[in-house]
Amino acid sequence: MQLSNAEEQLMQILWKQKKAFMKDLIEGYEDPKPATTTIATLLRRMQDKNFVGYKQLGRSREYFPLVKKKDYFSTHVNGLIKNFFNNSASQFASFFTEETNLSKEELEDLKKIIDQQIKNK
């Protein structure tokens, strides 16, 4: 399941805070901050999608992510590779390294990561 841009923005705040009350989530936004009702609506939609859970503490709810950030983005990257790069990770890597204007140092870091993964296989 996918999040809208607004939901994803809120999810980023929640992933960063790990658990948060409504006021903490609103504080996570830059000015102008969204209305409480907007955040409540987003949270309700995200609960329906099983991305967010909460614990009732008196009259307040403490929200927490049900989906790990790594899992969410892994699904999206894999979908991107499938849909735009003919399911070819090497085509994606070629595009990524050519189009993102990486420095020589960043490319060397990527090479180290790839070499380590080859060694682990």
- The CATH number, out of the four listed (3.90.79.10, 1.10.150.20, 1.10.10.10, 3.40.50.1820), of the domain defined by the range 5-65: 1.10.10.10
How far apart, in whole angstroms, are the C-alpha atoms of residue 39 and residue 70? 23
Q: What is the mean pLDDT of the chain?
A: 93
How far apart, in whole angstroms, are the C-alpha atoms of residue 114 and residue 5? 31
pLDDT value at 31 more than 80: yes
What local confidence, expressed as pLDDT, does residue 59 receive? 94
Q: What is the DSSP string of the chain?
A: ----HHHHHHHHHHHHHSSB-HHHHHHTSPSSPPPHHHHHHHHHHHHHTTSEEEEEETTEEEEEESS-HHHHHHHHHHHHHHHHSTT-HHHHHHHHHHHTT--HHHHHHHHHHHHHHHHH-
Residue carrying structure tokens 């979908």: 79
Q: Which of 48-52, 60-64, 106-110 has the lowest mean pLDDT?
A: 106-110
pLDDT value at 98 more than 90: no
- The residue ranges of every structural domain in the chain are 5-65, 69-120
pTM above 0.85, yes or no: no
Q: Please report the sign of the dihedral spanned by the C-alpha atoms of residue 19, residue 22, residue 27, residue 38.
A: positive
**Mean pLDDT, rounded, for 77-102:** 88
**Mean pLDDT, rounded, for 107-111:** 90
Q: Calculate what percentage of the chain has a pLDDT beyond 70.
A: 100
Both tokens assigned to 112: 């180290």
**Mean pLDDT, rounded, for 61-74:** 95
pLDDT value at 11 more than 90: yes
